[in-house]
Amino acid sequence: MKKIVGDSWLILPVGTQIVSRTEIRGQGGEVLCPRGAVGIIIKAPDDGSHSYRVRFSNGVESALRRPELVVRKYFQAEQTGAENSLLAQLALYDFVIYRCIVGSRAFGLETDEST
């Protein structure tokens, strides 16, 4: 789900939970965080042409541009199919008090072996 004003993205505030769309690599090329890792914005840019500073759950910090990240809430809705579900069509999500994703999926760390 894109949030665009004119030709530029809206600036996300500090504290927003995000999911990376790319791998985060170290200076030696090693993968520090896999694609899909969950982080939090710790510094927002002044405009859409600069990067966000993001801290991931394993303590790694990285600079990401807006197309390289997605707001966690929208990522989870895409993954669960919530946008197209019967509950969404009936607007029943307006009445949900608690809904959660648990385990490795909650942190974007699931693998093929995850249950």
What residue segments make up the domains of the chain, in order of their start?
A: 4-107
pTM for the complete prediction? 0.62
CATH level 3 topology of 4-107? SH3 type barrels. (2.30.30)
* pLDDT of amino acid 4: 47
The strand pair at 38-43 and 8-9 is best described as unpaired
Q: Cβ neighbours of residue 77 under 8 Å, at least 6 residues apart?
A: 1, 83
Residue 105 pLDDT more than 90? no
* 19 bridge partner residues: 38, 70
User: Considering the chain, what is the average pLDDT of its residues?
Assistant: 81
Compute the distance between CA of residue 57 and CA of residue 36 in angstroms, rounded to an integer. Answer: 12
Contact 33, 55 (CB under 8 A): no
| 38, 107 contact by CB (below 8 A) | yes
Contacts of 43 (CB under 8 A, 6+ apart): 14, 52, 53
What type of residue sits at position 36?
G
At residue 99, the pLDDT reads 74
* pLDDT per residue as tens digits for the range 10-40: 889 999 999 999 999 999 999 999 999 999 9
